[in-house]
Amino acid sequence: MFKGFRDFIMRGNVLDLAVAVIIGAAFGKIVTSLVNDILMPPLGLALKNVDFSNLFVDLSGGNHATLAEAKAAGDATIAYGAFLNNVIDFLIVAFVIYFLIRGANKLKRAPAPVDPTTKECPFCRTTIPIAATRCPNCTSTL
């Protein structure tokens, strides 16, 4: 049982997947920081000092100035600002992945065409080596 599990884990594609998940998680943190710390503050400033992470609807009817106050009071809230941050986060990740895959596909070049090793005899139409000076089938001089 353990041998089969070890063989499964040691397959190349499983290890590649594990590395991709770890790098993806680290990349996700970078993008989240990019969205929350760099992109959203100027966007909020352009929209008259709106802090997207603090946009919420208080379902309990309380008048709380911030989402943190509403959560501390135990009120039910819909934090749609955090949702907007996550949507922007996702769109940026999707955009970057699209360009990474597009770039990787451009790097994959088609194999160079192989030089032909045979040719067709113009008289009998059989395939002969390209260096042949006489057709072995019809004995005509090429």
Tell me the per-residue pLDDT of 21-64, one tens digit each, with 9 for 90 and over.
888 888 888 888 887 788 878 877 887 777 777 788 888 887 88
Q: Tell me the pLDDT tens digit for each residue of 100-137.
A: 788 888 887 777 788 888 999 998 899 999 888 889 88
What three-state secondary structure class fits 32?
helix
The matching CATH number, chosen from 3.40.50.300, 1.10.1200.120, 1.10.287.810, 1.25.10.10, for 2-109 is 1.10.1200.120
User: 125 versus 89: which is more confidently predicted?
Assistant: 125
Chain position carrying tokens 């989240």:
32
CB 133 within 8 A of CB 141: yes
pLDDT of residue 29: 86
Task: Summarize the confidence of residues 58-74 as an average pLDDT.
Answer: 85
Indicate whether 11 pLDDT > 80. Answer: no
pLDDT of residue 12: 66
Chain centroid, CA 55 distance in Å? 30
Q: Enter the DSSP assignment of 23.
A: H
Region of 83 on the Ramachandran plot (φ > 0 left; ψ -120 to 50 alpha; else beta): alpha
CB 127 within 8 A of CB 120: yes
pLDDT of residue 120: 92
pLDDT of residue 47: 77
pLDDT of residue 95: 84
36 burial level (CB within 10 Å; 0-12, 13-18, 19+): middle
Q: Where are the domains of the chain?
A: 2-109, 111-142
